[in-house]
Amino acid sequence: MAEEGKYIYCIIGTDEGRNFGPIGVGGRGDIVSTVGYQGISAVISNFPMTKYEVSKENLVSHEKVIEKVMRDHTVLPMRAFAVAASAEEVRSFLRKNYAGLKGLLKDMDNKVELGVKAYWKDMQVIFQEIVDENEKIRKLRDRIASKPGGQTSEKIRLGEMVASALKDKKDKEGEELIRKLKRVAHGLHLGEARGDAMIVNAAFLVDWGWEKEFDTRMDELDRKYGQRTKFTYVGPAPPYNFVSLRIK
């Protein structure tokens, strides 16, 4: 029989025994339950140590368990695929990190994560604005266009100037969008805005009671900028971008 470890999903602020059902990572129907220590618990399930598979399916299962637990508890998410050798190792983790975990549970109490991404809809419009707004770019572009074949060094320089102007434009417009949202948030995590079109890739830590206000502000942004900008808005979710625990 394969050696069984304990897969840890998250930490919650109770040491009462809980059974969240046969929803454990790995597709075997393992029961998700708790291991407690002095008022806090780790949410766990059995996991085969010899079949440690890092897969998209298991990652989705990991997130679904945490989301279910979050319905009734403040959660501190563990990084995916945190596995302890035994229940005693889980208790040791809780014991050694007790003060920090209690503090984080207090900080995250009644809070959720809301994710916002924003993209320019038409990059031709954006690049034309960059040319219209920057005389040096415009003159260099026209000079290159007037020379058959053009100079490679000038083309490289033009590309660098456009990239810099695009970054400045992205930063300016992104900050304007973020400023309207972070006023109702306790925390802000900025991820990388990948590609030319993405302006904002942000996660906000928001009180449950302020979620509707955040929704309202998102609606206002869409009404004001919707012709120019596409928004994606997800949540409420566990505070993945504000808590990232690992077992050592």
Is there a domain that residue 222 lies in? Answer: yes
d(CA 144, CA 154): 7
Describe the strand order of the beta sheet including 75-84 as a list of residue ranges: 19-21, 32-37, 40-48, 4-12, 75-84
Q: Which of 91, 109, 127 is the last residue of a domain?
A: 109
Is there a domain that residue 173 lies in? Answer: yes
CA-to-CA separations, 50 to 7, 146, 150, in angstroms, rounded: 13, 67, 61
Ranges of residues in the chain whose predicted pLDDT is under 70: 1-2, 50-53, 149-150, 248
The verdict on 177 and 134 lying in the same domain is yes
The verdict on 178 and 232 lying in the same domain is yes
Q: Which of 191, 41, 29 lies closest to 117, judged by CA?
A: 191
The verdict on 83 and 147 lying in the same domain is no
Residue-range definition of the domain harbouring residue 187? 113-237
The verdict on 127 and 100 lying in the same domain is no
The verdict on 117 and 100 lying in the same domain is no
Number of domains in the chain: 2
The verdict on 80 and 15 lying in the same domain is yes
Is there a domain that residue 243 lies in? Answer: no
pTM of the model: 0.85
Q: Which of 126, 129, 162 lies closest to 144, judged by CA?
A: 162
Is there a domain that residue 248 lies in? Answer: no
d(CA 24, CA 44): 8
The verdict on 151 and 196 lying in the same domain is yes
Buried-exposed string 126-158: b where 16+ CB fall within 10 A, e elsewhere: bbeebeeebeebeebbeeeeeeeeeeeeeeeeb
Q: What's CA 10's distance to the chain center, in Å?
A: 16
pLDDT in tens, 133-166: 888 888 888 887 777 765 778 788 888 888 999 9
Is there a domain that residue 99 lies in? Answer: yes
pLDDT in tens, 169-202: 999 999 999 999 999 999 999 999 899 999 999 9
The verdict on 137 and 169 lying in the same domain is yes
Is there a domain that residue 157 lies in? Answer: yes
Buried-exposed string 209-233: b where 16+ CB fall within 10 A, e elsewhere: ebeeebeebbeebeeebeeebebee
